[in-house]
Structure 1
Amino acid sequence: MLEVEINIPGRGIINIKNLVLDYNGTIACDGKVIPSIKEKIEAIHKKGIRVHVVTADTHGTARNQCADMPIEVQIFDHSNAAQYKKEIVEKLGAEQCACIGNGFNDGQMFEACSLSIIVIGEEGCSAKSLMKADIVCKSIEGAFDLILKPSRIIATLRG
């Protein structure tokens, strides 16, 4: 398994083997995957990073919408979503996970992962989770570009 290694001055080395994504509000809007992201997810996958979607699947569309992408989809019960997302990243090895989300239930996942990115997209973002994220992006495309161009992460997070 490949990984992306990022050496951030003043913070240390982050090795990313897994990218954990929220679904609604992050890679999807109103239950439909944002069309521009498929190519970026494939590029991240080609770097050797496993891509996971974790969702309560509010609209019931996640599996179908992600079927033609190299993504592992995990759907869980609507109750206690924050705890479930945190448990998933811990099982994957939180120190080797980056995550991207936008909702209140992403906050615990943000705190657990070695790198967390919040997206302020069409569905907005949780102000409480915003304060727990390492980086804020105005679009999912911008968040994916950080993973694809790690020097941007270094520039943003250096000590």
Structure 2
Amino acid sequence: MIEFSVPGLAEFKIENLVLDYNGTIAYEGVPFDEVYALLKELSKSLKIYILTADTFGKVNNFKEKLPAEVHILPPDDQIKLKADFVKILGPEKTIAIGNGVNDSKMLNDSAIGIVVIEKEGAAFKAIENADIVSNSIVDALKLILNPNLIVATLRR
């Protein structure tokens, strides 16, 4: 668990990290190199889940290396499926990271939603539903490893 307080906003007790795959931690189906070590470090404190449509059909090639529970979702109604997943975990104890329209509701519903703008870009709908916009997945994961950075960004 990672605990921190954002003045003027809330106290957080985060137990889960939910990640989109393509466009967020991977490009064209291949995870960014830096992601492995950062997720390994985060897995010491959080339960990590990866939700994906597996657009490029490559997630199974990498899931053994990822310290996360990987869920391949059916292609239809992913906005609802991802949001429902967060709801089951408990949105108040979950940070979500994504970049697509299909991530928008889970970003909005989570205690903290972070949108990343990697090589694939980010959907405006995801950006407007996030609490934080990050230039990279590496930077986004480092925010969680050092929650004072989240506090500095979100304090009221």
- Structure 2 spans left out of the alignment, 5+ residues: none
* Residue 101 of structure 2 is aligned to residue 66 of structure 1: no
CA contact (8 A) 1:102 1:126 kept: yes
Deviation at 1:64, TM superposition (A): 2.1
Partner of 1:115: 112
Residue among 141, 152, 155 paired with 1:155: 152
TM-score (norm 2): 0.98
How many residue pairs align between the two structures?
Answer: 156
Aligned counterparts of 1:69 and 1:23: Cα–Cα separation in 2? 11
Aligned counterparts of 2:115 and 2:95: Cα–Cα separation in 1? 11
Deviation at 1:157, TM superposition (A): 0.2
TM-score (norm 1): 0.96
Residue among 143, 147, 155 paired with 1:146: 143
Partner SS for 1:79? coil
Q: CA RMSD in A?
A: 0.7
Runs ≥4 residues deviating over 4 A: none
Residue among 95, 119, 132 paired with 1:135: 132
Partner of 1:76: 73
CA contact (8 A) 1:120 1:137 kept: yes
Partner of 2:27: 29
